[in-house]
Amino acid sequence: MLFKRLVTQIFIVAILFTGIMVLNTNEVLAADSNLSWGSRSDAVITLQKSLNNQGYWCGNVDGIFGAKTYAAVVKYQKSAGIPTTGTVGPLTRQALGLTSNSPDSTTVSRGARTLSIVASGYCSCNKCNYPYGGQPSYLGYPLGKGIIAVDPRVIPMGSKLYVEGYGSGIAADQGNAIKGNRIDLCFSSHQEALNWGIKTVKVTIY
């Protein structure tokens, strides 16, 4: 009975962990570190469950990356055509379907991609928008924090963006000078736009 209860508890932990990974992709970066012989974590539990489910038996799901888990990983990597390192890195994780959608991942992206982009700042004033001062953005939103001008050939209009040092926004505007690898970040005041200046930042496009 005790064993059964333990198995149930581990199962619940694994389910919770999977749920967390799905719900909050930004918070699981720690779980994305490589797993290898000797690793002990909830991520190992998820790995073991996945391997067992796919017929690569790594023994009881105990969260400890030991000999059986190692053997199962190697066997899985061989059959999946992945270099047989015995270590679970991005390739193996992706093949197993354990990949989280982390925004800063460059090799593995499911939907989101990250670019290095030159970003300037503007506001709704006539100086920044001559001769369109006070008019709404290209997509009709009132200008303010979170409105970002883009080159639609690089970033599709309407995309949700996350800009390092600025925060979240939407690709909702365009500008004559915003061509290619450039964006313009809208601020609520001219002074804030001046304070931002111009810098190269990482931009995640969702």
- With binding defined as CB under 5 A, does residue 128 bind Zn ion? yes
> What residues pair up with 88 in beta bridges, in sequence order?
35
- Residues 145-184, mask of contacts with Zn ion (x by CB under 5 A): ----------------------------------------
Q: Which of 112, 118, 125, 157 binds Zn ion (CB under 5 A)?
A: 125
| C-beta of 113 vs 190, nearer to Zn ion | 190
| C-beta of 14 vs 128, nearer to Zn ion | 128
- With binding defined as CB under 5 A, does residue 190 bind Zn ion? yes
Annotate 53-105 with DSSP letters as a single string.
Answer: HTT---SS--SB--HHHHHHHHHHHHHHT----SSB-HHHHHHHT-----TT-
Tokens of 59: 């023994």
- Any long-range contacts for 155-158 (C-beta under 8 Å, 24+ apart)? 155/183, 155/203, 155/205, 156/205
- Residues 51-90, mask of contacts with Zn ion (x by CB under 5 A): ----------------------------------------
> What residues pair up with 120 in beta bridges, in sequence order?
184, 198
- With binding defined as CB under 5 A, does residue 132 bind Zn ion? no
Give the footprint of Zn ion on this chain (CB under 5 A). Answer: 123, 125, 127-128, 190
